Amino acid sequence: MKALGGSATNEEHLEKVIEIEKIPEAVQNIMHTERQTKLAYNLAWTRSWLKLGGALENPTLGVWAVTEKGKTLSEEQVKQIPAEVQRQYKLEKEKKLKDHAEEKELPTEAKDWKDELLAVLISQKITADAFERLAQRLLRESGFVRVEVTGRSGDGGIDGVGVLRLALLSFQVYFQCKKYKGSVSPSAIRDFRGAMVGRSDKGLFITTGTFTAEARKEATRDGAPAIDLIDGESLCDLLKKYNLGVTTKKVEVEEVSIDPEWFGKI
């Protein structure tokens, strides 16, 4: 985190750890859930512990920063944070506040709505054609016009094309949809870019899985047309934003429910 200037997004943090620790691609690709690698999961826990220990703060969703306390901690002191947090938690639990206020809980692993949604999307009930139509609908909801699904064998993975209008300008964007449980490799990005040559400089790669650090670098490589990436995590957020098979209900906390039947009719 310090190497990144004292703050970082989840993605930047992950990429920097991979770079510093020289983590091989085979290890990067080990999945923990349908939408998260084991490495990303472990780092999420690391950030949570450091936040509880006062070394990190999380001012904005997905963005982390080193606190004043964190700047002064030695490596050995950082290693002691989990034990110290556990000790404090135990003391708080034993204290049993007189006003019966809700006790602070440590983060726990739980299968949330995104895991449920991705399980639906990668199931056999949602065919490759249906997933392409879902992408088509999502792009239309996002402001694209003239969105066509063109998926043909031997077309380099291009599944469709649409036009994105921004004020007075418009851009033709080719997209590829990939129902995937693991990580997309840089070779898949290169193949997609090769299929776009001579057609458009704008590409969008949508997957239910994740992208390796190398794939993300390849997508923004200098001298090559940039390809925007939507992984399973971002896909879930977009489907929720546009209420596509996902509904939300707010009581005291937001309640999210998935409608598998909706996706089956796409």
Q: What is the pLDDT of residues 232-249, one digit of tens each?
A: 999 999 999 999 999 888
Q: Note whether 113 and 258 are within 8 A (CB).
A: yes
**For residue 36, which of 10, 57, 1 has the smallest C-alpha distance?**
10
What confidence category does residue 255 fall into, taking pLDDT thresholds of 50, 70 and 90? Answer: confident
**For residue 128, which of 149, 155, 148, 147 has the smallest C-alpha distance?**
149
Name, of 48-62, 226-240, 241-255, the range with top average pLDDT: 226-240
Going along the chain from its start, the domains and CATH numbers come out as 2-95 (no CATH), 114-260 (3.40.1350.10)
Residue 252 has pLDDT above 90, yes or no: no
Q: In the chain, what's the furthest Cα-to-Cα distance?
A: 71
Say what the pLDDT of residue 54 is: 92
Residues 157-167 have pLDDT tens digits of 789 999 998 87
What confidence category does residue 103 fall into, taking pLDDT thresholds of 50, 70 and 90? Answer: very low
Say what the pLDDT of residue 163 is: 92
Q: Where are the alpha helices (DSSP H) in 9-74?
A: 10-21, 25-28, 38-52, 68-72
**For residue 218, which of 188, 179, 258 has the smallest C-alpha distance?**
188
Q: How many angstroms separate the CA atoms of 28 and 183, rounded?
A: 9
Q: Which amino acid makes up residue 169?
A: L
Residues 168-223 have pLDDT tens digits of 888 899 999 998 888 899 999 999 999 988 888 899 999 999 999 899 999 999 98
Q: Which residue has the tokens 């991705």?
A: 118
Report residue 126: phi and psi, to 5°: -100, 105
Strands (E), the chain: 7-9, 31-33, 36-37, 56-60, 63-66, 144-149, 160-166, 169-178, 183-184, 202-207, 210-211, 227-230, 246-250, 254-258
Give percent of the chain above pLDDT 90.
46
Say what the pLDDT of residue 35 is: 77
Say what the pLDDT of residue 109 is: 47
Residues with Cβ < 8 Å from 61, sequence gap 6 or more?
A: none
**CB 20: neighbour CB atoms within 10 A?**
9
Per-chain mean pLDDT for the chain: 86
Residue 97 has pLDDT above 60, yes or no: no
Residues 108-126 have pLDDT tens digits of 444 588 989 999 999 888 8
Q: Which residue has the tokens 């080719």?
A: 174
Say what the pLDDT of residue 153 is: 54
* Average pLDDT value for residue range 125-153: 87
Say what the pLDDT of residue 101 is: 47
Give percent of the chain above pLDDT 70.
92
pTM: predicted TM-score of the whole model, two decimal places: 0.69
Helices (H) and strands (E) in the chain, counts: 12, 14
